[in-house]
Amino acid sequence: MRMNKEVVMVRLSDIIPNRFQPRLTFDEEALNELANSIKEQTYYKGKTAEVRKWAFASGELVYNLPWMLISSFLAFFMTDIALIPAQTVAILFLVCRIWDAVNDPMIGSMADRTKSKMGRYRPWMLGGAVCLMPIVVLLFTAHPSWSVGARTTYACVLYALAVIAATAWNIPFSALNGVISPYPNERASFSSHRIFVSSIACAATNAMFLPLVNRFSEQGGKTQGYSMAALTICLLTVPFIFTSILGTKEVVKAPPSQKMGTKQVLGNFFKNPPLLIVCTAFLVYGFLNYGRMTAGMYYFTYFWGDTGLFSIYAPINGIICAVSAFFSGYIIKLCRGKRGALLFCYGTSFVLNSILFFLNPSNSSPSVVIALLFCAGVMNGFCTSILYGMIGDTVEYGQWKTGARADGLSSSGTSFMMKLGGAIAPTMLLSLLEVNGYAAGAQTQTDGALNAINITMNLIPAGLALLSFVIFFFYKLDDKLHAKIIDDLKERGEYIVD
C-alpha cells in the first residue's frame, strides 16, 4: 500500500463529528487553548520540577535573612548600642548605598565572564555566602570602649565589605533565574517561588530578631544580645547555601566564543528596548516595595492618627505580596501572557492608588484604606514575580542583537534601578516634609506636611503605575518574538542548552 506523506490542511468547518462521540461541536478558541497548552514546554518534569524550584527559591533565605538585619536594625544598633554619632551613621549609610549601587554592574560583569565547572554564577554565590555571614555577625558586634574614630572606621569597613559580599550572592543569584531553564514560562514559575520565599524570609527576620536579642541580653547585656542574635540568624542560612547551589544548575550556556567588551556591554542596554522597559519597571518596584514602607509610618501616624495601623499593614501586606507572587502564573495565563498580565496589574494599581489619594478621615475609615492597600499589594506581588521572570527573556533579546549573553549584567541593571527607586521615596518624602513645615513628634501637622505624606504614599505610586502601564504598551517581546529569537540563535550556534 502506498502512503501519501503530504500534509494536507483541513478547515475546521469541514470536520464532521462521529455521531457516537460525546462532543459534537468544536469551539475554535478552546482548541487553540488546548494546542497552546500542549506546546508549553518545560525542562524539568514531575516532582523534579518542584524540587528544583524550591531549591532555587531557598537562595532568598541566604540573602534576606542576614540582609534584613542590616536593612531593619543596623541604624539603631550603630547609634544606640555601638554608640556611633547619628550624623556619622547617616553619612555612612549614604556612602554605602551609593557603593552598593555602583558595585552591582561590576559584580554582574565579572560573573558573566566567569568560566568554571560550576558555571558562571554559582561560584560567586558560594563565595558571597561564605563571606557574608561572618561579616554580618562582626557588624553587629559592638565595641563601645573604643574611640569614636575606631568604632566608626570599624563599622564603615565592615558595612562596605557586607555590601560586596551580599552583591556577590544576589546579582549572580538573580542571573541564575535566567539560565535555569530555556523556557520563559518555566522561568516565570521559578521566579514566583523565589518571591514567595523572599517575602517570608523578610517577615521571619523582622519577627525573630528582637526577641532573640532580648533572650541573649539576659546574660550578657545588649551588646552580647545583638551579636548572638545576629549569629543565630546567620547560622539558619547555612543549610540553604547548599540547597540553592547544589539543587540548581545552569542549563542555558553562554557561547564559548562570546566577547564581553565595552561595545557588547553598552549594546546590552542601549540596543535592548525590552530590558530598558523592565529596568524602568524595577524603579517603580523599588519605590512601591521599599520606599512606600518609609512613607507608610508617617501616613498612618499623622494622616490617620494611629501608628498601630502600620504594625497591621506592614507584615500582612508582605504576606499578601508573597502569596500573590506564588500564584502569578495564573494571572499570566488569564491575561494571555506576561505583558497582558502587567497591563492588567498596573492599570488596577493606578485605579486603587488614585482612589486612596482622595480618601481621608472625613470621608472614609482606616479599614477601607487598609483593604484597598492590601488589594494594591496583590497587584504588586503579581508584578514583582512577573518582572523577575522577564529578565531572562530580555537577556536573550540582547544576545540576539549583540551576540553576547549577559545575564549578570542585565540583573545588575534591574537591581540598580530597584535600589534607586527605594532611595528616591524617602529622599522625596523628607524633602517635601522639610519644606512644608513638618514638626517631628508633634500631635498635629500642617496641612502641607499631611498633603506631602499623602502624595508620597498614594499619588506618586498611582503616577508610577500609570507610567508602567504606558511603557509596557511598547513592550514587544511576546512569546512569538521570543520563539523566533531562540530559533535564530540556534541557527547561529549561539543558543546552548545543557
Question: SS3 of 399, please?
Answer: helix
Contact 356, 458 (CB under 8 A): yes
For the chain, state the CA radius of gyration.
25
Checking 488-495 for CB contacts under 8 A at 24+ apart, the result is 488/400, 489/396, 489/399, 489/400, 493/255, 494/255, 494/258, 494/399, 494/403, 494/405, 495/182, 495/252, 495/396
336: left (phi over 0), alpha (psi -120 to 50) or beta: left
Give the pLDDT of residue 263.
Answer: 65
Contact 108, 102 (CB under 8 A): no
Write the CA distances from 439 to 79, 433, 443, 446, integer angstroms.
Answer: 22, 9, 9, 8
Q: Tell me the per-residue pLDDT of 27-65, one tens digit each, with 9 for 90 and over.
A: 666 555 555 544 557 888 888 899 999 999 999 999 999
Contact 99, 163 (CB under 8 A): yes
**What residue ranges of the chain have pLDDT lower than 50?**
1, 37-38
In the numeric block, which cell numbers belong to residue 458? 498614594
**pTM for the whole thing?**
0.76
Distance, CA of 189 to CA of 187 (rounded, Å) = 5
Q: Is 335 exposed, middle or buried (0-12, 13-18, 19+ CB in 10 A)?
A: middle
Distance, CA of 413 to CA of 419 (rounded, Å) = 10
Give the pLDDT of residue 3.
Answer: 53
Of the candidates 100, 78, 74, 101, the residue with the CA atom closest to the CA atom of residue 161: 100
DSSP letter (8 states) at residue 6: -
Q: Tell me the per-residue pLDDT of 287-332, one tens digit each, with 9 for 90 and over.
A: 877 667 767 878 888 888 887 888 788 778 888 888 998 888 889 9
Give the pLDDT of residue 419.
Answer: 78
Alpha helices in 335-365 (DSSP H): 338-357
Residue with the three cell numbers 549594546? 267
Residue 409 amino acid letter: L
Give the pLDDT of residue 416.
Answer: 84
Of the candidates 327, 358, 345, 212, the residue with the CA atom closest to the CA atom of residue 285: 345
Supply the DSSP string of 145-179, one letter for each residue: TS-HHHHHHHHHHHHHHHHHHHHHHHHHHHHHHHH
Q: What angle do CA 63, 349, 60 make, to 5 degrees?
A: 10
Give the pLDDT of residue 205.
Answer: 85
Name, in order, each residue with C-beta under 8 angstroms of 220's C-beta and a sequence gap of 6 or more.
228
